[in-house]
């Protein structure tokens, strides 16, 4: 019951994020930070990671664009010599340009409800371009939040056709990121190839344990003492993509499968929403089949 003043106006600065990864070498940070400083960047956050065994370097810098002298195009041209010298992969992201997100959902709506409310109160900075479902259940919710709802039936044997319709709709909606919010269909390799490292799924187990179907039933059978959930990027191999986030909850012999499913819902919401947020905030880098998540 403690009173609290209404949330202050949030003044969103105009910022950019630079993401870099390359073989580790002396002088990388000096080169990048001197470059940014020389063009007037006011650094707001910076984080870096060196994997000394693998010889890799990762960096994320967020800086104020207010006094920054370069736009995206000029940045690319000016930064090119440094990128070349250190053999960098890099991305320059203007955070003011919001990603367009499609949420796929089947019948369970807890993740969808969670994502839509987080978006509404400003936790997820993106445009939710569309909700796509193989069921009608989520239509009312989509309308409440004024998000275009698109129903694509995925009946037996019509999966290819359905995916065609989905991709068509995604392209017309100019979608940058696909979020599978307990979408109960396996996407084909062709679909996945369209959105490489841009499809985030939540799997309702602590991967790699209990991949595949009915993980809560499998966890119950095995008699584990904790259940988990995992958010990850989707790749061709089922439940084997780079893990973004995981969490667990304690269970006991008192919990039947139904209770595992209930407790698991809260884990699913947590790990999926964090993954989406970190993706949108350009906090995730890759090495091999793994992720670096800058916090």
Chain positions 130 to 189 lying near a copy of itself, rule: CB under 8 A, are 140, 144, 180, 183-187
CA R_g for the chain:
21
Q: Which of 110, 125, 151, 194 binds a copy of itself (CB under 8 A)?
A: 110
Q: What is the DSSP string of 18-72?
A: EEEEEE--TTHHHHHHHHHHHTT-EEEEEEEEEETTTTEEEEEEEEESTT----H
Residue 165 contacts residue 152 (beta carbons within 8 Å): yes
Instruction: Give the sheet arrangement for strand 243-250, strand by strand.
Output: 149-151, 127-133, 100-105, 177-180, 199-203, 226-233, 243-250
Identify which range of 69-77, 90-98, 115-123, 162-170 contacts a copy of itself by CB under 8 A: 115-123
Distance (Å, rounded) from C-alpha 186 to C-alpha 183? 8
Q: Which of 17, 70, 162, 207 binds a copy of itself (CB under 8 A)?
A: 207
| Contacting a copy of itself within 212-251 (CB under 8 A) | 212-215, 222-226, 228, 234, 238-239, 242-248, 250
Catalytic residue set: 239
Rule CB under 8 A: is residue 262 a binding residue for a copy of itself?
Answer: yes
CB of 226 to a copy of itself, least distance (A): 5
Residue among 172 and 225 whose Cβ is closer to a copy of itself: 225
Q: Indicate left, alpha or beta for 197 from its phi (over 0: left) and psi (-120 to 50: alpha).
A: left
Show the binding pattern over residues 67-96: x = contacts a copy of itself (CB under 8 A), - = does not. ------------------------------
Residue among 167 and 293 whose Cβ is closer to a copy of itself: 293
- Residue count, binding to a copy of itself (CB under 8 A): 90
Residue among 100 and 135 whose Cβ is closer to a copy of itself: 135
Q: Which residues contact 24 (CB under 8 A, 6 or more apart)?
A: 50, 51, 52, 55, 56, 57
């Amino acid at each position: 019951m403690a009173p609290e003043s209404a949330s202050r106006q949030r003044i969103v600065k105009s910022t950019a994020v630079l993401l870099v990864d390359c073989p580790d070498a002396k002088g990388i940070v000096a080169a990048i930070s001197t470059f940014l400083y020389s063009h007037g960047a006011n650094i707001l956050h910076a984080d870096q990671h060196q994997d000394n065994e693998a010889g890799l370097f990762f960096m994320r810098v967020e800086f104020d664009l207010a006094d920054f002298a370069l736009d995206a195009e000029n940045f690319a041209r000016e930064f090119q010599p440094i990128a070349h010298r250190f053999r960098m992969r890099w991305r320059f992201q203007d955070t003011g340009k919001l990603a367009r997100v499609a949420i796929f959902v089947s019948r369970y709506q807890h993740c969808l409800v969670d994502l839509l409310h987080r978006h509404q109160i400003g936790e997820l900075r993106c445009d939710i371009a569309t909700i796509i479902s193989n069921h009608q259940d989520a239509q009312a919710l989509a309308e409440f939040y004024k998000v275009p709802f698109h129903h694509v039936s995925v009946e037996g044997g019509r999966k290819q056709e359905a995916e065609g319709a989905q991709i068509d709709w995604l392209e017309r909606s100019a979608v940058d990121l696909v979020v599978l919010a307990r979408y109960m269909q396996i996407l084909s390799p062709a679909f996945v190839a369209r959105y490489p490292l841009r499809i985030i799924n939540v799997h309702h187990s602590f991967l790699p344990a209990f991949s595949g179907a009915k993980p809560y039933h499998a966890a119950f059978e095995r008699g584990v003492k904790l259940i988990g959930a995992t958010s990850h990027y989707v790749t061709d191999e089922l439940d084997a993509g780079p893990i973004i986030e995981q969490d667990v909850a304690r269970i006991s012999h008192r919990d039947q499968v139904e209770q595992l499913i209930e407790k698991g819902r809260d884990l699913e919401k947590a790990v999926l929403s964090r993954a989406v947020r970190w993706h949108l905030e350009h906090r995730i880098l890759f090495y091999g089949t793994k992720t670096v998540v800058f916090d």
